[in-house]
C-alpha cells in the first residue's frame, strides 16, 4: 500500500491539493489529536508516487503527470519543526502509516527535522557537593575482590590503531538526523529554520510547525516588552517564514483547548496573561489561515466506532478567486484512527462502510 493510498478520500482535496503560499491550520484538543493529520501531510509530500503538491485533485486523479509534474515530484522537501514531539515519534508514525523512511529522506536532504523540545528543557547542572560525593564514592579504600576466575582461553588479539579507529567510526552516525534549536529566542528560531530551508536539496518546501504556541508558555521574551508582544512577534516570525521564496505552503498544528471558552469559565475566573496571549495567537493564526481543520470529540461522549469530529472551514485569508482553493469545501466529517495507523473518514450522515 502506497503512502498516498493511506490518505482518506474525503481528506484528499486538502492534503493532495496544497496551493502555493497557503496556510493550513490544524487545531486539536487533549483527547483528539491531529498528529495523524500531520503524518498524512508528510506522506502526501514525501511519498515517491506523490507529485501532488500544488496540483489540483483532477490532475492527480487523471494519472497523466506532465514533465513539470515529474520534476515537482523530485523537488518537494519538508521541514518539520516540533516543540512537542521528538524525531523518533514522527519516524515511527510515518513508517507505520505510510512506509516512509525519514532517516533515509534526511540523508538525501529531502526532509529535515528541527527539535524545539530539547531547547526548552532546562539543563541539569551538577553541584560541587554532588561532585565531591561522587568522587568519594568512586575512590574506595580497598580494591574489590574477584569472586570468580576468568575463563581459560587464548589471549584476545591486539587491536591496532587502524582497527581501533575504524571500530570507533562505525559506531558514529553518518549524518545528524535532527537539528536542535539553540534556544527559544525567536531570532534564533527563525535563523535555524531559514538555514534548514536553504540546505534542502529541493526547490520547493512544505513547512510544518508543530505546537509553536509552546514558546509562549516556555519563556518570557528577551526582545519584547511584554508577553503579549511576544505573541505578536511569534505571528510575525511565522509570516516572515511564509514569505521565503522556497516555502511552498505552511501547515500549523495548534492546541485549541489550552484556553477555555468564556462560556466554560467560572464567573469569578480571571484569565492569566498566558491564557490571553494563547487565545490571541490562535485567533490571529485562524485569521491568517486559508483553511482550518479542527478535531474535537463527539458532543454525546466517547464512542467505540467513532474517534471524533473533523470540522473543515475556510480561514480568514481564504479567497474565492484563487484557483487552488476551488476544490476546498466546508464540511463536517467523522473519523476513526485505528491501532495500525490507518484512518477512516466519512460524512456525518453516512456510515463507516
* CB neighbour burial string for 336-352, b if at least 16 within 10 angstroms, e if fewer: bbeeebebbbbeeeeee
Instruction: Estimate the share of the chain in helix, then strand, then coil, as percent rounded to the nearest 5.
Output: 40, 20, 45
Percent of the chain surpassing pLDDT 90? 50
- Assess if residue 166 is contained within a domain: no
**Cα–Cα distance list, 1 to 39, 154, 321, 337 (Å):** 16, 53, 36, 17
- Assess if residue 161 is contained within a domain: no
- Assess if residue 88 is contained within a domain: yes
CB contact at 8 A, 310 and 347: no
pLDDT band of 84, cuts 50, 70, 90 = very high
Residue 12 pLDDT exceeds 60: yes
Digit-coded pLDDT (tens) for 163-179: 544 443 333 344 567 89
Q: Residue 253 half-sphere exposure, CB side, CA atoms within 13 Å?
A: 24
- Assess if residue 195 is contained within a domain: yes
Residue 282 pLDDT exceeds 60: yes
Report the pLDDT averaged over residues 234-262: 89
Element (H, E) at 250: strand 247-255
**0.85 cut: is pTM over it?**
no
pLDDT band of 35, cuts 50, 70, 90 = very high
- Assess if residue 270 is contained within a domain: no
Range of the domain at 40: 4-120+173-264+289-347
- Assess if residue 89 is contained within a domain: yes
Digit-coded pLDDT (tens) for 294-309: 999 998 877 778 999 9
Please report the pLDDT score of residue 146 as a whole number: 52
Number of domains in the chain: 1
Q: Residue 20 half-sphere exposure, CB side, CA atoms within 13 Å?
A: 8
Q: Which residues pair with 240 in a beta bridge?
A: none
CATH for 109: 3.40.50.300
Please report the pLDDT score of residue 262 as a whole number: 61
Residue 60 pLDDT exceeds 80: no
CA-based angle 8:32:258, to the nearest 5?
135
Per the prediction, the chain carries an average pLDDT of: 79
- Assess if residue 73 is contained within a domain: yes
Residue 137 pLDDT exceeds 80: no
| Cell numbers describing residue 61 | 486523479
Q: What whole-number distance in Å separates Cα of residue 13 and Cα of residue 16?
A: 6
Please report the pLDDT score of residue 182 as a whole number: 85
Q: What whole-number distance in Å separates Cα of residue 54 and Cα of residue 76?
A: 10
Rounded to a whole number of angstroms, the CA Rg of the chain reads 25
- Assess if residue 282 is contained within a domain: no
Amino acid at each position: 500500500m502506497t503512502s498516498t493510498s493511506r490518505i482518506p478520500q474525503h481528506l484528499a482535496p486538502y492534503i493532495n491539493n496544497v496551493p502555493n503560499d497557503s496556510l493550513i491550520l490544524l487545531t486539536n484538543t487533549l483527547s483528539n489529536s491531529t498528529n495523524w493529520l500531520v503524518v498524512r501531510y508528510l506522506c502526501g509530500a514525501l511519498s515517491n508516487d506523490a507529485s501532488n503538491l500544488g496540483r489540483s485533485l483532477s490532475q492527480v486523479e487523471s494519472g497523466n503527470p506532465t514533465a513539470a509534474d515529474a520534476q515537482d515530484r523530485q523537488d518537494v522537501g519538508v521541514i518539520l519543526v516540533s516543540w512537542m514531539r521528538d524525531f523518533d515519534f514522527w519516524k515511527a508514525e510515518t513508517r507505520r502509516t505510510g512506509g516512509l523512511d525519514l532517516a533515509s529522506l534526511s540523508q538525501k536532504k529531502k526532509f529535515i527535522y528541527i527539535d524545539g523540545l530539547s531547547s526548552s528543557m532546562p539543563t541539569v547542572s551538577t553541584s560541587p557537593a554532588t561532585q565531591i560525593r561522587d568522587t568519594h564514592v568512586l575512590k574506595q579504600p580497598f580494591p574489590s575482590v574477584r569472586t570468580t576466575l576468568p575463563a581459560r582461553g587464548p589471549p584476545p588479539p591486539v587491536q591496532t590503531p587502524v582497527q581501533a579507529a575504524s571500530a570507533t567510526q562505525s559506531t558514529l552516525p553518518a549524518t545528524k538526523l535532527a537539528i536542535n534549536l539553540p534556544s527559544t529566542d525567536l531570532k534564533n528560531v527563525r535563523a535555524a529554520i531559514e538555514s534548514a530551508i536553504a540546505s534542502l536539496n529541493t526547490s520547493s518546501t512544505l513547512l510544518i510547525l508543530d505546537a509553536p504556541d509552546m514558546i509562549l508558555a516556555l519563556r518570557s521574551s528577551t526582545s519584547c516588552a511584554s508577553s503579549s508582544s511576544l505573541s505578536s512577534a511569534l505571528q510575525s516570525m511565522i509570516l516572515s517564514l511564509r514569505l521565503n521564496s522556497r516555502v511552498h505552503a505552511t501547515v500549523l498544528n495548534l492546541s485549541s483547548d489550552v484556553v477555555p471558552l468564556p462560556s466554560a469559565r467560572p464567573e469569578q475566573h480571571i484569565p492569566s496573561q498566558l491564557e490571553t496571549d494563547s487565545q490571541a495567537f490562535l485567533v490571529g493564526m485562524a485569521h491568517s489561515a486559508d483553511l482550518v481543520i479542527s478535531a474535537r470529540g463527539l458532543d454525546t461522549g466517547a464512542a467505540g466506532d467513532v474517534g471524533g469530529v473533523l470540522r473543515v472551514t475556510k480561514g480568514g485569508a481564504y479567497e474565492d478567486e484563487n484557483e487552488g482553493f476551488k476544490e476546498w469545501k466546508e464540511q463536517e466529517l467523522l473519523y476513526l484512527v485505528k491501532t495500525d495507523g490507518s484512518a477512516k473518514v466519512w460524512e456525518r450522515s453516512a456510515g463507516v462502510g
